[in-house]
Structure 1
Amino acid sequence: MDYRKLAESLDLPAKVRLLTGASVFTLAPEPAVGLGEVRMSDGPTGVRGLTFAGGPVVALLPNATLLASAWSADTAYEVGRLLAEEAMAQGIHVVLGPTINLHRSPLGGRLFEAYSEDPLLTGKLAAAYVRGMQDSGVGACLKHLIANESETDRTTVDSVVDEATLRELYLLPFEIAVAEADAWSVMAAYNDVNGVPATEQDHVVNGILKGEWAYPGLVVSDWFATKSAAPAANGGLDLVMPGPDGPWGDALVAAVEAGEVTSSVVDDHVARLLRLADRVGALGSLRTRPAALPAPDSPARREQLTRLAAAGMTVLTNRDEVLPLAGDARVALIGRHAVETICMGGGSAQVNPPYQVSVADALTGATVTDGVEVRSRPVPARAGFLPDLRFTIRGADGAVLDERVASGSSIVAGFDDGLAGQIATISVQARFAVGGEIEVGAIGAGSWRLRVGALDVAYDLVVPPGGFGVEVLAPPVATSRVPVVAGDLLEGVVTLDPSGPMGSVGRFGIVARPAPRDPDEVIADAVAAAAAADVAVVVVGLTEEQETEAVDKHTLRLPGRQDDLVFAVAGAAARTVVVVNAATPVLMPWREQVDAILWAGLPGQEGGHAVAAALTGAIEPAGRLVTTFPAADGASPAWSVTPVDGKLPYTEGTFIGYRGHHAGRAPAPAFWFGHGLGYATWSYSDARWSHPSVSVTVTNTGTRPSREVVQVYFAPSEPDQPVRLVGWAAAEAAPGESVPVTVDCDTRLWRRWDGAGWATLTGGTLLVARGLGDIRATLPLTP
């Protein structure tokens, strides 16, 4: 099909109309060229649909770092197919993912959506994911181009990155996914890069992506990221999202008529959009979708999501083989994350799953004890606490604009919900399902008046600082402690302030939960439970306060008094296992005092079942770390994510993560990238190099069948070049079995950018390893 000819057949206003979304997540149809509506959805951990909040019930997948920890292209391909099926069930054409920014600093709040700190691992997994999705006719979208590794001041920060670092490190995952999977779209980021907005990056988009790589696909802006008309259009951006309003429209028409943008530039943008529409079945004869697809809560999905989550979990320590747990062991299960397991991160990654299984739900037979508080901010009431909580949205004249029943006890209002007028008030009403001393309160900017039983409370909540979107992503909250009897009525109203940064838009909800207890009492209960058991399993971790869009962390310490809890339990228990329910590195000051540590990530809707399967050995947690875990705050090669005078210099260059630790630019880490023990031990022999492959024999010296991941790193002889992963391969073996493994090394990792082009690195050493903390063979290379 001649997409350029189709584009040229339209008049200028019609062309430009296609280049801004028709709504928040849809693109406009154009019958004159046979173009139907194109529908997009966020999708890092599930296909949310056409709304930012609420929406249909969909499958909640494990987060990206947990899936990546399998170090398996087959896993990534399966995830792509799964998401494509979820998309087809809703008539979605493009899923916005994968996120292939790198884990530059462990403080990055959105790292849980991205695969790893390594460009090769990230690129290869992304390519497999894209193939899985696009083989089913659903488009993928690589994001976020480029140098978008942190969230602080994300819409204004200027990432200052030298050309060699940009090409050798941050562009490489995009290069691999474009070359090996032909991803159908790419998303331009919020930030500036070297003083130029990512949506106006002529050098990166036109020069490298569309020029050097000959990329034929579409470049779309991140939502609300586009800052200009002519500079963005000339800089290679093809599509502005969301719509129908935006910086293009009449302004872009005027720019063409004034000669600031040529008609051929506009035609190219439209042609690329039409190519995408054709690929996803929205151009010409519209593609029909399969009628029978697995439901989010079907047996097929339950098995799939449990297996994917458990297989990526990583055994960090395992003294005296305390894991897997013995079948007859008396287990004390302890911690807030055990009873309220965090299954997904915050922000645009959130979806509406059919259920979320906690570890306490799944580890049957264990004695369960709650843990210390893990949040500084109250959250909406959990399902069942306020059943049938009803929100009534009214305009200034008192007319009802909408009514919603929210199972999650909060709603997003005023954004992409098609209301007939501006919101003035939102009323809430529900009855408590439980009684006792309750912490109750309100979430969302406005003037609140609540009645809880016979008690009246009032809050005036204002939007906190934090930049664009904070009204939705981190709204203000206030609470009170009140006595409640089951069946008591909660009712109230919030009056909105339309003069706020986003007008009458925000997240609104009700807090309701048992009032927090004294932490010393909680720890004492945990100690008593641990002392009475054969093994204590303590589940600790982070929450959506730390792992979320728009906010970075300031420390890697566990929130609250979770470290105190672990120390106390370890001092009382015969054996102690710690499960870390977090997607990114945390500090573990107690790691030498406990017997085993299992890193569990954010495991999705089957999270509790997956953790139980990993702990009991029903599924081997054979994951390998995708991020280096530093031993202390500040002890990583790149740390600060806070701009100074608007700029965030990437002064560490290509020495991020394990690369910088290996070069001595940061202290030795607590756990190296690539580390993971599984449930067996391994020996390596006969390692050999025959360009471009390494061969080695691995032998399972343990007592259980297991999966091994053989990793090969290249350490160049040039001192200004860091060590880098060049390939990996997995093998499975029974106890005592030897298996030959061949690792095909990627020659793109033998390049360096010398300012004018690519030069080849020659001398150095190959390291055959189970992570850089466990090198099994060294193979010298000669120039």
Structure 2
Amino acid sequence: MDIKKLINEMTLEEKASLCSGKNLWETKEIERLGIPSITFANGPYGLSKINCDSYDPVPATCFPTPTALAATWDVNLAYSVGKAIGEECLAENVNILFGPAVNIQRSPLSGRNFQYFSEDPVLSGEMGAAFINGIQSEGIGACVKYYIGNNQESHRQNINNIIDEQTLNEIYLSNFERVIKNSNPFAVMVAYNKINGIPCTENDYLLIDILRNRWNFDGLVLSDLYAVNSIINSLQAGLDLEFPNSPNNTKQIIEAVLSGTLDSSILDNAIEDILNTISKVIKPVKECECNIYDKEKHNDLAREVAEDSIVLLKNKRNLLPLKKDRLKNRKLAIIGEYAKETRCQGDGNSNVIPIMFENAYDEIVKLVGSSVKIYYEKGYNTSKNSEDDDNTLLADARKTARTADIVILFVGTPQYYDKEYADNVNLDLPTDQVKLIKEIGKVQKNLIVVLSNGSPVTISSWAKYADSILETWLPGQASGGALAEILFGIANPSGKLPTTFPIQLSDTPTYLDYIDSENNLQYKEGVFVGYRYYDKKNMNVEFPFGFGLSYTTFKYSSLTLDKDILTDNDTLEIKLKVKNTGKYFGKEIVQLYIKNTDSNILRPEKELKAFTKVSLFPDEEKEVSFLIDTKDFSHYDINTNSWVIESGPYEILIGKSSRDLPLSKNIYVQSPYLPKTNYTRDTLAQDFLINPKTKEIVEPLLSSAAQSITSDTNAQEKLINYFKNIPIGRFTTLSNGTFTEKMLNDLLYSANEA
């Protein structure tokens, strides 16, 4: 496809028409020039294609949702899932997948959290990049979304998120930057919301200054559905394509170019991006190429991801894993409707119609065979239309639990908790399920609780009744077999939390969020999102970020750094050893955090910078290594509008979670950066003493002022210490006129120039 030639041959009307979709899922074709239409589909955790003619959904593999995938902390699995979805896109003639969504889980109440990876930008960015690389390995384009600040569903389409520049860069742009640079997605979808008063679709700072110029993104920039307010402003700000179709906006583009309101070169740039993307994803049909994929293989992958995503939160008395031989001829009660009606995904436009499906109850029965007596009780209603009486269900469950030897109780959030378009109002399980847990816990000492939810839930009101707790998230179509294997020790749980579980909703950093009458929302917590907030406040949490138990145990040792001093543009190699000291094969997620021990600005206590997953047999020991660079020690400086590194001591922390870091080493970082102070009349005198260029002026000034008051040298010293805490501008009065306004202005000029 000769793109330059095509652009020259296109009429203004054809160019304008190409800037909006043909419908909800396709771009327009221009038959005269042989420009084909391409097809998009949703897909954060599986292909969600709608046939444009019939509007019927196409069945596909329903993988665990992104939060569950992130709980594996396994970039190789993320790549494999992306690749598998890419294969299904090929089979269904989809050219670009709307996914992944890498937004930060800022609040546990967000209804769309199940579509996002984590509260942390490093984990989100690494998992997102691997997922995209997997998709695009099949020649299918990935469209990363939602750029940026789509952190809540309430007022999603008109909210103005007020985010300070440091927070914007360190938290909400950082994950997108990692994705853009590490995977080069074919497209970026722009969010509905405003950032600091400007709609994302019209925000040239976000779309041109950062995305294009700073990150060198050269792909397609398109809008979320119906997100464009002004197509002219959007094109000028760097948007290429509006979805869906908009004949009125096409007319506006034509009129704007003809009137000179819109420079034709801007339109041509957008057309070039669109045509470049079409040329990347359109491939000639090869003879004998069969658009099929191995459904069983994809189901096996979905099961593997579900298995690795399960987090063991509690295991009192080592109740798990269960042993079939010990349960022979004993009673096992399975209680809870979710045992048979698995909550495999959240609700919304990205829903996947599973190709096949399994539930935990059937898979447990299949695994244990006839040697174990299994009893089932529904326990509660998940549907408001059910005719089953809640009290009767509770009584029957309690009776069965009393006579059983072990109870596996399935609970979780209802479907309306985890969905697009609405946020949750609390973090609690439904009251009937909490009551069920407590009642069963009173009559059964061997209680295993299995959770299904897309976001953190509070467990403090009922956790003491459960001996073991397993977090399974929204685990996709093949989770039944995965859970059965975890329960009976065929597999060892290796998942770790990609988000913090607070004790109560009021503990969360966004608890006092308030959307005002003009739809403004201030991100008052700043960079203190998730574990950064809880750690800075030294606040107790139910389960910390990165937490997860195992049936085996791991020992960390022999941490070494390849240098003691890190200079600008250097790399640092970090090595340690991890040993499986237990009796089961297991996988451990090794997490690396960096702590700035002597910063001049308010910083998080520590931040995740790298991670890896290592597999170990009993008594096996492996060396783990990380290679990080000086960027990992940097922060965004609002005075220079750039990433900078403070010189000083830092601490390398290695361990199992943000609260369990058994290994640490200190390193000193040398950087040419010097913090820049904006000196004004209100700057304290002591700040001028730090600056060598102004110290020689201010020091005599303080002494002179003190001497003018008293000749007692001890009293003068006390006065000087007092004067250090006075704004420099007041010395025009304190000096009785010897320090003039001109001298003050010269001092400020000299200080700021220095």
Q: Distance in 1 between matches of 2:109 and 2:427?
A: 7
Of 588-597 and 365-374, more deviation after overlay is shown by 365-374
Shift of 1:354: 2.8
1:618 paired residue among 463, 471, 490 = 490
Q: Distance in 2 between matches of 1:98 and 1:746?
A: 27
2:579 paired residue among 687, 699, 722 = 699
Shift of 1:638: 2.4
- 8 Å CA contact 1:344–1:350 kept in 2: the answer is yes
Q: Distance in 1 between matches of 2:348 and 2:233?
A: 29
Residues 1:15 and 2:15 aligned together? yes
Q: 1:250 to 1:373 in 2, by over 3 A?
A: same
**Aligned equivalent of 1:342:** 343
Q: Distance in 1 between matches of 2:479 and 2:521?
A: 36
Per-residue CA distance 1:226-284 (angstroms, 9 max, x = gap): 111211111111100012x26521011112222221111111111111111111125xx
**Aligned equivalent of 2:739:** none
- 8 Å CA contact 2:81–2:301 kept in 1: the answer is no
Partner SS for 1:220: strand
**Aligned equivalent of 1:96:** 98
Residues 1:373 and 2:381 aligned together? yes
- Pairs within 5 Å for 1:112-261: 112-243=114-245, 245=246, 248-261=249-262
- 8 Å CA contact 2:61–2:299 kept in 1: the answer is no
**Aligned equivalent of 2:320:** 323
Residues 1:527 and 2:398 aligned together? yes
Larger relative helix fraction: 2
- 8 Å CA contact 1:223–1:241 kept in 2: the answer is yes
Per-residue CA distance 1:446-504 (angstroms, 9 max, x = gap): xxxxxxxxxxxxxxxxxxxxxxxxxxxxxxxxxxxxxxxxxxxxxxxxxxxxxxxxxxx
Shift of 1:746: 5.7
Q: 1:339 to 1:715 in 2, by over 3 A?
A: same
Q: Distance in 1 between matches of 2:594 and 2:248?
A: 46
Q: 1:761 to 1:324 in 2, by over 3 A?
A: farther
Residues 1:769 and 2:655 aligned together? yes
Partner SS for 2:229: coil
Partner SS for 1:348: coil
Q: Distance in 2 between matches of 1:76 and 1:247?
A: 41
Of 64-73 and 255-264, more deviation after overlay is shown by 255-264
Larger relative strand fraction: 1
- 8 Å CA contact 1:45–1:61 kept in 2: the answer is yes
Residues 1:309 and 2:278 aligned together? no
- 8 Å CA contact 2:64–2:474 kept in 1: the answer is yes
Partner SS for 2:417: coil
Q: Distance in 2 between matches of 1:161 and 1:323?
A: 45
Per-residue CA distance 1:74-107 (angstroms, 9 max, x = gap): 0111011011011111100001000000010111
Per-residue CA distance 1:726-745 (angstroms, 9 max, x = gap): 11122111111111111233
What's the TM-score, normalizing by structure 1? 0.79
1:760 paired residue among 641, 645, 667 = 645
Structure 1: which 5+ residue stretches go unaligned? 379-438, 440-513
Q: Distance in 2 between matches of 1:627 and 1:354?
A: 30
- 8 Å CA contact 1:41–1:50 kept in 2: the answer is yes
Q: Distance in 1 between matches of 2:47 and 2:445?
A: 44
Partner SS for 1:540: strand
Residues 1:332 and 2:329 aligned together? no
Partner SS for 1:744: strand
**Given residue 779 of structure 1, which amino acid in structure 2 is its aligned partner?**
K
Q: Which structure would you say has the larger RCO, counting Cα contacts within 8 Å and 6 or more residues apart?
A: 1
- Pairs within 5 Å for 1:27-42: 27-42=27-42
**Given residue 546 of structure 2, which amino acid in structure 1 is its aligned partner?**
G
Partner SS for 2:233: helix
Shift of 1:765: 1.5
**Aligned equivalent of 1:689:** 561
Q: Distance in 2 between matches of 1:626 and 1:746?
A: 24
Q: Distance in 1 between matches of 2:127 and 2:27?
A: 29
Q: 1:19 to 1:715 in 2, by over 3 A?
A: same
**Aligned equivalent of 2:633:** 750
Partner SS for 1:715: strand
Residues 1:356 and 2:357 aligned together? yes
Residues 1:739 and 2:747 aligned together? no
Of 570-579 and 366-375, more deviation after overlay is shown by 366-375
- 8 Å CA contact 2:92–2:291 kept in 1: the answer is no
**Given residue 34 of structure 1, which amino acid in structure 2 is its aligned partner?**
G
Partner SS for 1:347: coil
- Pairs within 5 Å for 1:642-653: 643-645=515-517, 646-653=519-526
Q: Distance in 1 between matches of 2:512 and 2:101?
A: 21
- 8 Å CA contact 1:62–1:344 kept in 2: the answer is yes
Q: Distance in 2 between matches of 1:239 and 1:286?
A: 26
Shift of 1:588: 0.6
- Pairs within 5 Å for 1:707-726: 707-717=587-597, 718=599, 720-722=602-604, 723-726=606-609
Per-residue CA distance 1:364-414 (angstroms, 9 max, x = gap): 153211122345xx4xxxxxxxxxxxxxxxxxxxxxxxxxxxxxxxxxxxx
**Aligned equivalent of 1:655:** 528
Per-residue CA distance 1:161-203 (angstroms, 9 max, x = gap): 1111111111111111111111110000011111111111110
Shift of 1:131: 0.8
C-alpha RMSD of matched pairs (Å) = 1.9
Per-residue CA distance 1:581-616 (angstroms, 9 max, x = gap): 112100112223311111001111112222212212
- 8 Å CA contact 1:372–1:560 kept in 2: the answer is no
Q: Distance in 2 between matches of 1:89 and 1:743?
A: 38
**Given residue 530 of structure 2, which amino acid in structure 1 is its aligned partner?**
G
**Aligned equivalent of 1:456:** none
- Pairs within 5 Å for 1:343-422: 343-364=344-365, 366-374=374-382, 378=384
**Aligned equivalent of 2:667:** 781
Q: 1:290 to 1:662 in 2, by over 3 A?
A: farther
- 8 Å CA contact 1:583–1:602 kept in 2: the answer is yes
- The structure with the largest alpha-carbon Rg is 2
**Aligned equivalent of 1:569:** 440
Q: Distance in 1 between matches of 2:302 and 2:291?
A: 19
Q: Distance in 2 between matches of 1:99 and 1:140?
A: 10
**Given residue 130 of structure 1, which amino acid in structure 2 is its aligned partner?**
I
Shift of 1:290: 4.2
Residues 1:270 and 2:271 aligned together? yes
Of 754-763 and 141-150, more deviation after overlay is shown by 754-763
Q: Distance in 1 between matches of 2:260 and 2:286?
A: 39
**Given residue 492 of structure 2, which amino acid in structure 1 is its aligned partner?**
E
Q: 1:220 to 1:97 in 2, by over 3 A?
A: same
Per-residue CA distance 1:697-726 (angstroms, 9 max, x = gap): 111111101001110111113251112101
- Pairs within 5 Å for 1:415-564: 439=385, 514-517=386-389, 519-564=390-435
Q: Distance in 1 between matches of 2:153 and 2:86?
A: 28
Question: What is the aligned-residue identity percentage?
Answer: 30
Q: Distance in 1 between matches of 2:618 and 2:634?
A: 40
Of 261-270 and 333-342, more deviation after overlay is shown by 333-342
Structure 2: which 5+ residue stretches go unaligned? 366-371, 563-570, 670-754
- Number of residue pairs matched by the alignment: 640
Partner SS for 2:230: coil
**Given residue 611 of structure 1, which amino acid in structure 2 is its aligned partner?**
L
**Aligned equivalent of 1:635:** 507
Q: Distance in 2 between matches of 1:367 and 1:746?
A: 56
Q: Distance in 1 between matches of 2:407 and 2:630?
A: 47
Per-residue CA distance 1:543-596 (angstroms, 9 max, x = gap): 320101010011000123111111111121131111111121001122233111
Q: Distance in 1 between matches of 2:249 and 2:100?
A: 27
